Amino acid sequence: MATTSSASPPLSALCTPAITIVDQNNASTISTVHQDIIETHIFTRLDGPTLASASCASTHLHALASQENLWTNICHSTWPSTTSSRVRHVISNFHNGPRSFFSDAFPLAIEPVSFGNSSENPTDLPSEIISAVDIYYKKELIFSKVVETETVSAWFKCSPFRVDLLDPKEAVSTRIPNPDKDDTCRYLEEDMELSWIIIDPIGKRAMNLSSQRPVSVHRHWLSGEVQVKFASVVGGGGIGAATELVQCGVVVTCGGSAKGEMHVREVSLQLEDMDGMYLNGKESLVMLTRGMAGKRGRGKKRESERKKEVEEFLERKRERKERKMRREGTLDTLCVAFGVSAFASSLFFLLFR
């Protein structure tokens, strides 16, 4: 079995080609600017991908952009849930601290790590996973929570994997309007964003499971509650197996209140294979570990890529179901033919013996 490295992907993975090549005159001009101005008036105004691109422009900017406080502030502003004391402590233990965490959590996980034979499972499974979740509506934070999940008990390994952030009777009030028409679904599809970061505190790896924007929104015909679904697809199972591709689905359920506003009543995560079966704890942990150890893509086009992945997963799932139904139909035909043949043989034997 091949071993995997716990080192985070290089920050250059977030750089754009247009910024990695810098004219020598521009580089010398930038170097004449006092570093305090760059640090306090320029870099503090940049988001993570832009700061990563700027760090690729020259060795001088790379040194200035590698300061931990810059990446700590970016992580906190991008994901408010990372301000919790537990998550901050975990991030500080990453290889390059918050910079490594951002490199793990912001870009897409485009390819699971290879463990030799695809049927083999990684042995270094985390004993605990941390979920850091943030939900926005029209760029305003409406929900943020951190949940720790133990993964070593027999109950966890054998039970269907599900992480719930709210208790059954718990609800979080929001400023989302709840008009008595389908405009609510359209508003949520356009304006709601979600980030769900899974963190392995022992392996010092992280992965964002969300599509950021919803992949589907629909209102329940009876209860009137609106279910907003975010999803991503991870791979790693054997070719042709049901777990060759697995969908990580996050469901946010919103219901109306007496004041006319929407309340968040459910935020949950489950993993589903191509047969439509939900994975148990151990199976889910294997898939998440593969995803966290896999390669990362660039930060651009995150939403469109995730939606494309989900559409491909649903298409593969539909094709797999159709093949299964055809096989079952063929078996049914053979069984009927065998039964008719046996009956005819018995009848022939009784009549002409």
| Rounded average pLDDT over 103-132 | 71
Q: Which domain holds residue 57?
A: 36-101
Alpha carbon distance 279, 236 (integer Å): 14
Residue 220 belongs to some domain of the structure: yes
The answer on pLDDT for 21 being more than 90 is no
Q: Do 76 and 156 have their domain in common? A: no
Same domain, 233 and 127: yes
Are 231 and 317 a contacting pair, CB within 8 Å? no
- Same-domain pairing of 116 and 58: no
- Please check whether residue 288 lies inside any domain of the structure: yes
The rounded distance, in Å, linking the Cα atoms of 238 and 244 is 5
Residue 201 is predicted with a pLDDT of 94
Same domain, 299 and 248: yes
Find the helix or strand (DSSP H, E) in which 90 lies. helix 85-92
Q: Which two tokens stand for residue 8?
A: 């985070």
Q: What average pLDDT is seen over the chain?
A: 81
Q: Is residue 43 part of a domain?
A: yes
In this structure, the answer to whether residues 64 and 206 fall within a common structural domain is: no
- In 3-state terms, what secondary structure has residue 135? strand
Q: How confident is the model at residue 190 (pLDDT cuts 50, 70, 90)?
A: confident
Distance between CA atoms of residues 232 and 250, nearest Å: 9
Residues 150 and 279 in one domain: yes
d(CA 265, CA 188): 15
Q: What pLDDT does residue 193 have?
A: 93
pLDDT in tens, 196-214: 999 999 999 999 988 888 9
Answer whether 0.75 is exceeded by the pTM. Answer: yes
**Do 200 and 159 sit in the same domain of this protein?**
yes
Instruction: Please check whether residue 21 lies inside any domain of the structure.
Output: no
State residue 179 phi and psi, 5-degree precision. Answer: -70, 155
Dist. CA 194–CA 213, nearest whole Å:
7
- Dist CA 144 CA 135 (whole Å): 6
Rounded average pLDDT over 243-261: 84
**Domain count of the chain?**
2
Whether residue 225 is found in the same domain as residue 135: yes
pLDDT digits (tens, 9 = 90+) for 37-91: 777 778 888 888 888 888 888 888 888 888 889 999 999 999 999 999 999 999 9
**Same domain for 312 and 224:** yes
